[in-house]
Homo-oligomer: A and B are copies of this chain.
Amino acid sequence: MSESKQREGVLFVVSAPSGAGKTSLCRELIDSFADLRQSVSFTTRQVRAGERDGVDYQFVGHAAFQQMITEQQLAEWAQVHGNMYGTSLATLEQGAVEGVDLLLDIDYQGAAQLKKNYQQGVFVFILPPDLAELERRLRGRGTDSEEVIRRRLKNAEKEMSQAGWYDYLIVNDDFQTALQQLSAIVVAERCRASRNPALIK
């Protein structure tokens, strides 16, 4: 019997300040779960080296993004570091129809919007060990200007103050431990009694 046909798809929402390792953790998680699909966000941000349109993000212009907002096509959207990010309702609806679990790698502002409409979603916040380590990682990445790094660090404290309302907290000190914890959350949440009404006679 197929597990995914027995229950509704689960929405896994992962947030973190830049540099906490969220993107790498989500990528590894997707690779290790054949039945977990990454939700691809829309963004107005510039494409970074190595990123592919339609895979990492759906890259759109400001006018197109504004139109999606106006036409209420987005389940959540937020402005982060001067760029727009959002998840389309169509992406979530398709996941629900197919009964697949979706992984959303989004900022706390968007997560807070989803929390209102998707109470059954699972909200995970990834924390860096501390702010000094976060700064070291942001500089080590070598993709951002000094101005951007300073802005990200300033925002990180604000973002981390939101961690309290998430369901789960993971400290990404050791990558493999953090990945094991994130994987465990996926496996465990799929076993929730409330998600498996067919098992309760």
Contacts and interface: CB of A to CB of B under 8 A. Distances in A.
Interface of A: 125, 127, 160-161, 163-171, 180-181, 183-189, 191-193, 196, 199-201
B200 A164 contact: yes
Contacts of A163: 193, 199-200
Query: How often does this chain occur in the complex, in copies?
Result: 2
Nearest to A167: B193
A180 B187 contact: yes
A184 to B, nearest CB: 4
A161 B125 CA distance: 35
Given A168-B191, A181-B188, 14 more contacts: A125-B193, A127-B199, A163-B200, A165-B193, A167-B193, A168-B192, A168-B193, A169-B191, A169-B193, A169-B196, A184-B184, A184-B191, A185-B187, A185-B191
Given A161-B201, A169-B200, A200-B163, A184 B193 contact: no
